[in-house]
Copies of this chain bind each other. A is one copy, B any other.
Amino acid sequence: MPESAISESHTPNSVFDVAVVGAGVVGLSIAWRAALRGLRVAVVDPDPGRGATYASAGMLAPVSEVTFTEEPLLRLGLASLARWPSFRTELEEASGRAVDYRTDGTLELAYDSDDLAQLDDLAAFEATLGLRVERLTGRECRKREPMLAPSIRGGLLARDDAWVDPRLLAPALCAALARARATFVAEPAVKIQSGLVRLAGGAVRAEQIVVAAGARSAALLPGLPVRPVKGQILRLRGPRGFLSACVRGWVHGVPVYLVPRENGEITLGATMEEQGFDPRVTAGGVYQLLRDARDLVPGIAELELAETRAGFRPGTPDNLPLIGATGLPGVYVATGHHRAGVLLSPVTADAVADLLTGAAGPPLLAACDPARFE
């Protein structure tokens, strides 16, 4: 995190235009876009970029992530994906830092015949949505990625899906914010009121407040329908070019992904649906990830296991985020992005910046109204 990420100037006399509570990619993106519109911004977080962002893979993959019941989420994801190239260019210029944005395509693989049947169903569904995917044979998959297992039955290539390294993205956003003269308050928020973010030993005053505290947002806005969804990831360290594409797959019905970085690291993850805030990395979680990833890419056995980590995605009842006004005047929320926080950051940030400057949010966001479950 940047040198300026220190607590400063939340004196009683300082009133910000906007206080953003939570410095994951969603909160940081909102703060940055708000600062670009000339608002005086404070970011309140004891440890910017170290929550769910730090444990995420950074896939910008609305096409590969599509499931049959989630067309609104797909539309939102495609809208955000379309903003990513300019978002990335502006951010890298504003921060002077690269975010390892990659567009080498996502390969969605099937391991056994049941997995293949699921893949074919998905391909057919994606075709009806007009999405650009190509069905590849196992041989064609291996031609693109020689490290894939001989037993891979087939795959889908989503050329438009991309990815980014969240551990470069969050520091880049912090650096851009520091250059935009935003204030970092390195303390946890304990209570939100209109115009006031209460800290353990003080407060931050702001005309408007955005709660973007991920799975912990419900502790600040009681009744908010967001819950922690634990995920475990591993970082492997391999030679550069070990994989070129982002590789996803089902192995006996269980999803797994391997996301390669420019420096040779690979983020290996899967969706786990454990509830609660238990931060332990479990032996069983690591075992399952390694087992399924080995089935897709046997050669990972030789790579260094450099890190194990658990994080908490903010889940909602319908898997769509919560973006918009709350019952408290001047207090907005932007959370519930579940597995898609990195993907949805540009569209979320621009929409919230619209709300903060009195503009109407984009129509697409109607489905994300935080009050929709009431």
Give me the interface of A with B, judged by CB distance under 8 Å.
234, 236-237, 280-287, 290-291, 293-294, 300-305, 308
Contact = CB atoms under 8 A, between A and B. Distances in A.
Contacts of A236: 283
B308 A282 contact: no
Contacts of A283: 234, 236, 290, 293-294, 300-305
Contacts of A281: 304-305
Contacts of A285: 305
Nearest to A290: B287
8 contacts: A234-B283, A281-B304, A284-B294, A284-B300, A284-B301, A284-B302, A287-B287, A287-B290
Contact of A301 (B282, B300, B301, B305): B282
Nearest to A280: B304
A127 B294 CA distance: 42
A285 B284 CA distance: 15
Copies in the complex: 2
A305 B282 contact: yes
B280 A301 contact: no
Contacts of A291: 287, 291
A300 B284 CA distance: 7
Contacts of A305: 281-283, 285-286, 308
A124 to B, nearest CB: 35
A291 B284 CA distance: 9
Contacts of A308: 305, 308
Given A284-B302, A287-B301, A305-B308, 6 more contacts: A282-B302, A282-B305, A283-B294, A283-B305, A286-B286, A286-B290
Contacts of A293: 283
Contacts of A294: 283-284, 287
A276 to B, nearest CB: 13
Contact of A282 (B282, B284, B286, B303): B303
Nearest to A266: B283
A144 B191 CA distance: 52
Contacts of A237: 280
Contacts of A290: 283-284, 286-287, 290
A293 B286 CA distance: 13
Contacts of A282: 301-305
Contacts of A286: 286, 290, 305
Contacts of A300: 283-284
A74 B102 CA distance: 58
A286 B236 CA distance: 12
A243 to B, nearest CB: 13
A302 B232 CA distance: 13
A164 B73 CA distance: 55
A134 to B, nearest CB: 30
A183 B367 CA distance: 71
A294 B305 CA distance: 19
